[in-house]
Structure 1
Amino acid sequence: MALLHKADLTPTKIELLSGWVPSQPWFSGEADAPLENIAAYRFDDPDGEVGIETILVSAGTGPVLQVPVTYRNAPLAGADAALIGTTEHSVLGKRWVYDGAGDPVYLAAVATAALTGGRQAELQIEIDGEMVLREPTAVVAGSGAPGGPAVALPAVGEISISEAPGTTVVAAGPLRIVVARVLGDDDVLANRAPDSATHEVLAGTWTEQPSLRTLVLVGVVAD
């Protein structure tokens, strides 16, 4: 369960992403158009330390873009290349915001969801002293079988990132993760199964995408 705070962010998430997303090799859209927040979904960090959110945005008439991010209360050692920027949270203080593809906490969370049939985190926010469930704007689920052999998830190893058309490809120890960055008319994940013995997917829907759309591929390299 993800606990949301009624708080101000300076700069806002969209302002922060607006200075980073157009510079990425997978960017597609109108570079001068403001980013629009389409939908989002979250995962839980089992240790309760790192915020994990995937934000779907678009720029002008361009396609929907998928941007997984993590929020940390201190810099992540060795991850300078993945740093998007910092923001001041009126409740939590300074937050370091990272591209999820370069953060082992995001990689573990998305791999767990895909391989074990997991779903997005439930959202709770305090309103007038009461905890209230907030409906997610995107609903996702993994294709793996709950309680199946993939539950014994391998640890995230050293992260290596490469870019392919419309995707980010991550090798992290035995994990192979392909994140669809561009969610346009063409499925950039078609025929892009990771180089592994088996793989599962994370797929989801949102208001503008009522039919199930594959978002992430996750595989595990056999010993």
Structure 2
Amino acid sequence: MALLYRTELKPSKLELIEAWLPGRPWFEGPAGAGLERVAAYRFDDPAGEVGLETMLVRFGTGPVHQVPLTYRGAPLDGARDRLIGTMEHGVLGRRWVYDALGDPVYLAALAGAFAGVPQAEEFFEVDGRREVRAATMAITGSGAIPEGTTATVVRRLGAAAPPAGATLTGTWAGRPDPVLLAYAN
């Protein structure tokens, strides 16, 4: 379960991604054309300490990029090269935002998703009760991956055929056919 807050983020998640994404070697597209959020999914951190969100974003009419993020209340040791930036959260205070592929909490949750652990349900607390926020996409894992197997997250989404082995696919508004998000080899 992901408890979300209706609050201001400075800078916003999209502003952080917009500044960071064009510098990645796997980026393709018209940077500066206005970054938009296409869809997103979340995982649960069993300890409840780390926010785990994967955003699908696009500049203008460019390709959709998958950006896994973790949000932490303190810096992650040994992950300075994965730091996207910091933001001020109106409720939680300063948050360190990381490229999640360098965060062990995200990688454990990703392995669970391959095995069919569902994405986190998202809730807002409103007047002392929790209201569900509708998911913007659905993910499906094809099977557990053996320990020691490498999982590859597809950064620039396309029409690539899934390789042999376990996969994680997703669908969202405008993309009803499953799109490969990650695979294990």
Shared fold per TM-score greater than 0.5: yes
The two structures have a TM-score, normalised by structure 1, of: 0.79
> Which amino acid is the alignment partner of residue 16 of structure 1?
L
Instruction: Report whether the alignment pairs 1:118 with 2:92.
Output: no
Higher relative contact order (CA 8 A, sep 6+): 2
- Displacement of 1:128 in angstroms is 2.4
Name which of 136, 152, 160 aligns with 1:178.
Answer: 152
**Taking structure 2 as the reference length, what is the TM-score of the superposition?**
0.94
Aligned residues: 185
Verify: 1:139 aligned to 2:138, yes or no. yes
Partner of 1:100: 100
**Mind listing any 5+ residue stretches in structure 2 that lack a counterpart?**
none
| CA deviation string 1:15-70 (max 9, x = no partner) | 01011001101111102212111110000001111000000000111111100000
SS in 1 for 2:46: coil
List, as ranges, runs of 4+ consecutive aligned residues in structure 1 with deviation greater than 6 Å: none
Match of 1:36 in 2: 36
State yes or no: 1:211 paired with 2:177.
yes
- Kindly indicate whether the alpha-carbon contact (under 8 Å) linking 2:162 and 2:180 is maintained by their aligned counterparts in 1: no
Q: Which moved more, 1:44-53 or 1:128-137?
A: 128-137
Could you tell me whether the CA contact under 8 Å between 1:5 and 1:125 is conserved in 2? yes
1:200 equivalent to 2:174? Answer no
In the alignment, structure 1 segments of 5+ residues that lack a partner are 155-173, 194-198
Q: For the residues of structure 1 that align with 2:175 and 2:103, how far apart are their CA atoms?
A: 27
Query: 8 Å contact 2:162–2:183 — kept in the other structure?
Result: no
- Structure 1 equivalent of residue 109 of structure 2: 109
Deviation at 1:190, TM superposition (A): 4.3
